Structure 1
């Protein structure tokens, strides 16, 4: 591959790495809603030029994770109580359809979910919140992916990304971290029985507790789980 042809490939790789790094900073709450992202500092920290940083931020802006203001730059998007409630309303509708579409899972699929959840157990014991957030996402999207409704699952992924800086809040509570693992195990048990409606109910409860925790932690009086 020539140097000219290789350059775009390197740029794509650099942009993807910057996006991953920013997502990790959101999960760890190093970046929080409303915080300005300084391109020069981020480029220096990651050892890249400002070009991949700028492209990464533009990409995250299209997802609703970042916002850009002229003469100000990029900031982490801050959702109002009403916007956050709408995100969870859409998640509830789409995730319910995906879970109802799940086939009877194979032993291998159930084993994959169990392995992913047990990895979260280790992260809970280490109080590694960023890893718990990533593991929780891996668990749910492995489960959603078995539905075959790829376009719907992709849309759910965008909704998850928009609310990720907020979802980490309840995981700073020890009981909240343990509850995640416990509820995942109940979902696996229901999936093993092929009881999709039970999984829907468990997912609704799982999600609604997160919303309730956000309500209390962020002081959002109009936030509602449904």
Structure 2
């Protein structure tokens, strides 16, 4: 995350626009929350960065009210944290949270795919296959997270369980930062694409036990990998921080003869 910044707003122009254009019928608090979430996912806003209400309000030319609503929404979703007298900051990356998100997803998505398979049609299967190919072709981490979610959700939509779908969608959003992180790990992309293809094949064959087993293995494996990576990174950072600082050399001066 070399392009991450220390807070909001940006001190230097971004390579691409940070904030999307507002849709006419969207509430301002929703627009602000979506913009901040996107900046957190793509690494523009780093973990621990302050989310200053006054700066955000100036950026959007709004009052503090929709900004407070947006920050409350982000806090409820786990994207931000608020401390008394310190305000809101971007939530840190957590190895335990990453693993737990994928553990919960494995249970809910196994249920969803089992309910969905009997209701899949030729049309819904074609849609899922197209989304699977789109995710496989995508090389941009920021775009891949959306392609990945669209593919997964297409497998579960025929279940017609709106509350279950909403819970899964919330967990996908909670896991976006972690999925982007995993995208940069060696061999992840190819393994994930292969697992998606196998999962799609099981759904097309209407093999419910195989599909449930594959989705659980896929998600638990992702959670374990992220937990291991974040734990090792935290340990390396702690070890580096605890290293003694080298003493400054004292230069000798000699007088001329």
TM-score range, shorter chain: 0.7 to 0.9
CA–CA separation in structure 1 for the residues paired with 2:85 and 2:169: 31
After TM superposition, the structure 1 stretch with the greater mean CA deviation from structure 2, 203-212 or 11-20, is 11-20
Task: Choose the corresponding residue for 2:223, options 187, 202, 211.
Answer: 211
Which deviations, in whole Å up to 9, do the C-alpha atoms of 1:28-69 show, x marking residues without a partner? 122344332233444455565544332211112222322211
Q: Secondary structure at the match of 1:75?
A: strand
1:87 aligns with 2:124: no
Task: Choose the corresponding residue for 1:133, options 126, 138, 145.
Answer: 145
Q: Secondary structure at the match of 1:64?
A: coil
1:26 aligns with 2:40: yes
Greater radius of gyration (CA): 2
1:64 is matched with which residue?
78
1:192 is matched with which residue?
204
1:121 aligns with 2:136: yes
Check whether the contact 1:102–1:147 (CA below 8 A) recurs between aligned residues. Answer: yes
Deviation (angstroms), 1:160: 2.6
Which deviations, in whole Å up to 9, do the C-alpha atoms of 1:81-123 show, x marking residues without a partner? 4444333332222222112112332111111112212222332
Check whether the contact 2:105–2:219 (CA below 8 A) recurs between aligned residues. Answer: no
CA–CA separation in structure 1 for the residues paired with 2:133 and 2:25: 36
- Structure with higher RCO (Cα < 8 A, 6+ apart): 1
Q: Which ranges of structure 1 fall in alignment gaps of 5 or more residues?
A: 1-8, 222-226
Deviation (angstroms), 1:130: 0.6
CA–CA separation in structure 2 for the residues paired with 1:131 and 1:44: 28
Task: Choose the corresponding residue for 1:143, options 130, 155, 167.
Answer: 155
Task: Choose the corresponding residue for 1:112, options 118, 127, 140.
Answer: 127
Computed over aligned residues only, the root mean square deviation of the Cα atoms, in angstroms, reads: 2.6
Greater share of helix: 1
Deviation (angstroms), 1:171: 0.5
1:39 aligns with 2:53: yes
With the length of structure 2 as denominator, give the TM-score of the two structures: 0.71
Check whether the contact 2:106–2:216 (CA below 8 A) recurs between aligned residues. Answer: yes
Deviation (angstroms), 1:20: 1.9
Task: Choose the corresponding residue for 1:182, options 183, 191, 194.
Answer: 194
Q: Secondary structure at the match of 2:210?
A: helix
Q: Secondary structure at the match of 2:45?
A: coil
CA–CA separation in structure 2 for the residues paired with 1:81 and 1:171: 16
1:96 aligns with 2:99: no
Equivalences for residues 5-20 of structure 1 within 5 A: 12-20=26-34
With the length of structure 1 as denominator, give the TM-score of the two structures: 0.80
Check whether the contact 1:81–1:220 (CA below 8 A) recurs between aligned residues. Answer: no
CA–CA separation in structure 1 for the residues paired with 2:136 and 2:25: 36
Q: Secondary structure at the match of 1:101?
A: helix
CA–CA separation in structure 2 for the residues paired with 1:94 and 1:47: 40
